[in-house]
Amino acid sequence: MALAPTVKVVLGSIAFAVFWVMAVFPAVPFLPIGRTAGTLLGAMLMVIFRVITPDQAYAAIDLPILGLLFGTMVVSVYLERADMFKYLGKLVEWKSRGPKDLIFRICLISALSSAFFTNDTACVVLTEFVLKIARQHNLPPHPFLLALASSANIGSSATPIGNPQNLVIAVLSKISFGTFLVGLLPAMLVGVFVNALIVLGMFWKLLSVHKDEEDAAPEVVNEGEYTSHRFSPATMSSHLSPSNSIVMDNHSSPSVRGHSDHADNLRNRLSSDTEFHGFESSRMSDTSKDVVVDETFQAETPERVETVTGEFITQLKLFLGGKVVSEKWKHTIWKICVYLVTLGMLIALLCGLNMSWTAITAALALVVLDFKDARPSLEKVSYSLLIFFCGMFITVDGFNKTGIPGKVWDIMEPHSQVDRVGGIAVLALVILVLSNLVSNVPTGMISTSTF
């Protein structure tokens, strides 16, 4: 591909450099405007420098990607409200056989939840349960947090909705959800298994030490201490993703006592950042009823299970008949509907339906099923992330029009053919370096449009 005129190449490179600096270092001293505003600045410079026209800038914004991103974020908000991630957290410690078993469980559950509900969601929500488990069993939290962070990123690679860069690649390349999943699921599972072995190898001695009960008695953690927060989809996570933040906040000490302050700070920060404003006040009176619902599903005897099942069927018939249903069962039925809608969305994606409209349809179905003002839930959507993508679409399109990415690809193409091992290694190395230098989402966009 030929390069554009020299002036256009220079000015386009300057605009892209501004975008790159602001995306990687959003709080630079000379311009601390943040990552989202910095991305819009790079997009604006592309237009001002006449690298692209205003019409080309608008055309560069990919609405299907924004729609898919918006839909999945709304679905994640309603899934959190329906306690999906609380149940996943309980599954982590259910009949656990020790810290090494916990490592494997955390790796597997965080990977699978990241694949279908994004890695940001998995890291933000499951961190609470990992901290709780570590405190209850007097275990150092940082091995488990590292397992959560690394497995979430590995697991998110399996589906187009696992992370933003996969979403961009799948939509721009028109790869179906099923094809994407079948192609990457085996590699993801192998990666999660290897990652679990690496984490175990790093902390084998630490996890093998059994503390004396007299030295460190197990700490009782109240349920409310780790389930009170509400999830808010993360903003842009180019280099400092929630998984990285988790590691940084909990990496300094192997002692759980030494980490209690870090855990409390993280819990308080998540609670303040993700609290529902109007919604929580309206649902506060139902808190005790929700606890009763949760206890109902923890029945252990067959007689209790049979009683609960019969009561549920009775209440469901009343609900379908338009008759009065108790508040606890109304909430339970609503949660089941949320799970069914989400399952239907995943099945529709696997069947090859349009990913963007499928996600938006599922999001609107959940809004209707909630049967109340959706503003508190929609306020949890990260609109700054959507704006970031708009700016990035324009900036990357302008950079592509300079001809630099195409020229670089022309040089690399003879050495990176995927029909031989050496070519695959070179291509993987180039993408690895670019992902760390330019960040993964722009690299995915540039690579997809160039290839």
Quick: pLDDT tens for 267-296: 444 444 444 344 344 443 444 344 334 443
Nearest 5 degrees, angle CA 72-CA 74-CA 79?
A: 90
Q: Are residues 266 and 126 in the same domain?
A: yes
Domain presence at residue 67: no
pLDDT at site 271: 44
DSSP 412-434: HGGG--TTSHHHHHHHHHHHHHH
In total, how many domains does the chain have?
Answer: 2
Domain shared by 278 and 349, yes or no:
no
* More confident call, 426 vs 177: 177
pLDDT at 304 over 80: no
**Is residue 12 assigned to a domain?**
no
pLDDT at 71: 93
Residue 365, pLDDT score = 95
Residue 339 in tokens: 């799970």
Half-sphere exposure of 378 (CA within 13 A, CB side): 11
- Whether 9 is covered by a domain: the verdict is no
From CA 100, how far away is CA 250, in angstroms rounded? Answer: 19
| pLDDT at res. 165 | 83
Q: Are residues 149 and 275 in the same domain?
A: yes
Q: Does residue 159 lie in a domain region?
A: yes
Residue 1 pLDDT class (50, 70, 90 cuts):
low
Of residues 365 and 421, which shows the higher confidence score? 365
Same-domain status, 271 and 133: yes
Non-local (6+) Cβ contacts of 37 within 8 A are 22
Least Cα distance to 236 among 441, 21, 40, 29 occurs for 441
Q: What is the DSSP string of 307-352?
A: HHHHHHHHHHHHHHTT----HHHHHHHHHHHHHHHHHHHHHHHHTT
Residues 201 and 342 in one domain: no
Domain of residue 323, residue span: 284-378
**25 DSSP assignment:** -
Q: Are residues 131 and 248 in the same domain?
A: yes
Integer Cα distance of 131 and 333 in angstroms? 30
Burial classification of residue 276, based on how many CB atoms lie within 10 Å of its CB (0-12 exposed, 13-18 middle, 19 or more buried): middle
Convert the pLDDT of each residue in 153-169 to its tens digit.
Answer: 999 989 998 888 888 88
Whether 151 and 226 share a structural domain? yes
261 in any annotated domain: yes
Instruction: Please indicate, yes or no, whether residues 131 and 235 belong to a single structural domain of this protein.
Output: yes
- The reported pLDDT for the residue numbered 249 is 43
Q: How confident is the model over 438-445, as a mean pLDDT?
A: 70
Query: Any residues with CB less than 8 A from the CB of 213 and at least 6 apart, and which?
Result: none
344, 378, 412 - which closes a domain: 378
Does residue 222 share a domain with residue 120?
Answer: yes
> Strand, helix or coil at 300?
coil
Q: Whole-angstrom Cα distance, residue 397 to residue 390?
A: 11
User: Is residue 430 one of the residues assigned to a domain?
Assistant: no
